[in-house]
């Protein structure tokens, strides 16, 4: 089964409104002729409306970087799924390692958010990944499967085909260290096997599994050439149109 690769930019806490419009304008031009790769961006909450407006009518998708699991309520500083669909976004990144490590999000909370996102027709990009210590201890696959099983608790097979999994080794995020294509493929294959056990083989074959962690134009092609790597979640290199477009182009070339 061929899956359309998905390259998504996680802008984290970067870009003002004017910088968002500038970057997206440049990006639209830079990837206009690429149609074999799906492209998505996750700007900060304050720039989502501007991003949706700038990208209207085009093929680049807009998503959020986080979301509360409730529809509304007394949750100071939080953003609900209703607010995200109202602004016109299409997906939401959930369980990013920075949310887990810096803001105390645990597997169960991430699972509740995934179910809420699906109930509101937002595509969850469910993040997972081991720390350096967990890799050295040989527990990578155990950690990733624990995160995924909890993150997907309650999700039905017919909802699962649309979701996206992002495997991001914590030691590779923002560090310049990247998993080798072989290391990444090994974990991706184990994730696909877990998805097949959980949802059946045909659903597992349709779920896209992105790699994340210091993806750059120079290392994207060899990662994307792996059979179970279906795209990338890109942090730092997504903040510049030329480097992000370079990753999109390398991905298109790897698939052709």
Binding site for ligand PGA (CB under 6 A): 10, 168, 173-174, 212-215, 233-237
53 HSE (CA, 13 A, CB side): 10
Q: Is 70 exposed, middle or buried (0-12, 13-18, 19+ CB in 10 A)?
A: middle
Residues tagged active-site: 96, 168
188 vs 199, which CB is nearer to ligand PGA? 188
183 vs 205, which CB is nearer to ligand PGA? 183
Strand partners, 126: 94, 165
Cβ neighbour number for residue 37 with a 10 Å cutoff: 22
Please, what is the minimum distance in Å from the beta carbon of residue 217 to ligand PGA? 12
Q: CA of 12: how far to CAs of 62, 177, 251, in Å?
A: 14, 19, 22
Please, what is the minimum distance in Å from the beta carbon of residue 220 to ligand PGA? 11
* C-beta nearest to ligand PGA: residue: 235
Residue with tokens 């210091």: 214
Strand partners, 231: 6
171 vs 199, which CB is nearer to ligand PGA? 171
Please, what is the minimum distance in Å from the beta carbon of residue 144 to ligand PGA? 15
């Amino acid at each position: 089964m061929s899956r359309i690769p998905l390259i998504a930019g996680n802008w984290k806490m970067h870009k003002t409104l004017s910088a968002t419009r500038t970057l997206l304008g440049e990006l639209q031009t830079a990837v206009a002729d690429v149609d074999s790769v799906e492209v998505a961006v996750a700007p900060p909450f304050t720039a989502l409306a501007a991003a949706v407006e700038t990208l209207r009518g085009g093929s680049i998708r807009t998503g959020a970087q986080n979301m509360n699991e409730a529809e509304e309520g007394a949750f100071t500083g939080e953003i609900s799924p209703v607010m995200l669909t109202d602004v016109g976004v299409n997906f939401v990144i959930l369980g990013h390692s920075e949310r887990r490590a810096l803001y105390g999000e645990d597997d169960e909370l991430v699972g509740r958010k995934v179910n809420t996102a699906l109930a509101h027709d937002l595509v969850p990009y469910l993040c997972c990944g081991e720390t350096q210590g967990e890799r050295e201890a040989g527990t990578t696959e155990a950690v990733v499967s624990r995160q995924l099983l909890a993150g997907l608790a309650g999700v039905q097979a017919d909802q699962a085909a649309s979701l996206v999994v992002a495997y991001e080794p914590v030691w590779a995020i923002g560090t310049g260290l990247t998993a080798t294509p072989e290391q990444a493929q090994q974990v991706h294959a184990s994730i696909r096997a877990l998805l097949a056990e959980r949802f059946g083989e045909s659903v597992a074959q349709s779920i896209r599994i992105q790699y994340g962690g210091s993806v750059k134009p120079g290392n994207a092609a060899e990662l994307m050439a792996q059979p179970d790597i279906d795209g990338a979640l890109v942090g730092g290199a997504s903040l510049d149109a030329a480097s992000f477009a370079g990753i999109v182009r390398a991905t298109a070339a790897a698939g052709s």
